[in-house]
Amino acid sequence: MSTTNTSTKNMSDLLTVSEVADILRVDATTVRRWVKYGVLEAVSLPHARKRQSYRIKRETLEKVLEKNTHLQLVEA
């Protein structure tokens, strides 16, 4: 597999706060709160605005869903 394909796949495995919120059917504020309190592990991106930007690994989201069987992964 080429480096370009690998990096594209890795980028597609990083979800925005909005994408995670849509998948879990919660508000984006809830996802940010979960990140802040350590419920959901995320990568912090450099930012110049007021709000911190995060990316959540798809595998991290799947692990959280496995632990919380009452939640289901819903693709938007």
Q: Tens digit of pLDDT for each residue in 29-68?
A: 999 999 999 989 999 988 777 778 899 999 999 888 888 7
In a domain, 12, yes or no: yes
pLDDT at 7: 46
Residue 63's domain spans which residues? 3-67
pLDDT at 66: 82
Q: Tens digit of pLDDT for each residue in 8-22?
A: 455 569 999 999 999
In a domain, 18, yes or no: yes
Residue 1: pLDDT above 50? no
In a domain, 76, yes or no: no
In a domain, 38, yes or no: yes
In a domain, 75, yes or no: no
Give the CATH number for residue 24: 1.10.1660
pLDDT at 67: 80
User: Do residues 18 and 35 touch, judged by C-beta distance below 8 A?
Assistant: no
In a domain, 36, yes or no: yes
pLDDT at 69: 64
Could you give the number of structural domains in the chain? Answer: 1
In a domain, 72, yes or no: no
In a domain, 13, yes or no: yes
pLDDT at 46: 86
The whole-angstrom separation of Cα 34 and Cα 24 is: 12
Kindly report the number of other CB atoms within 10 A of residue 32's CB atom: 19
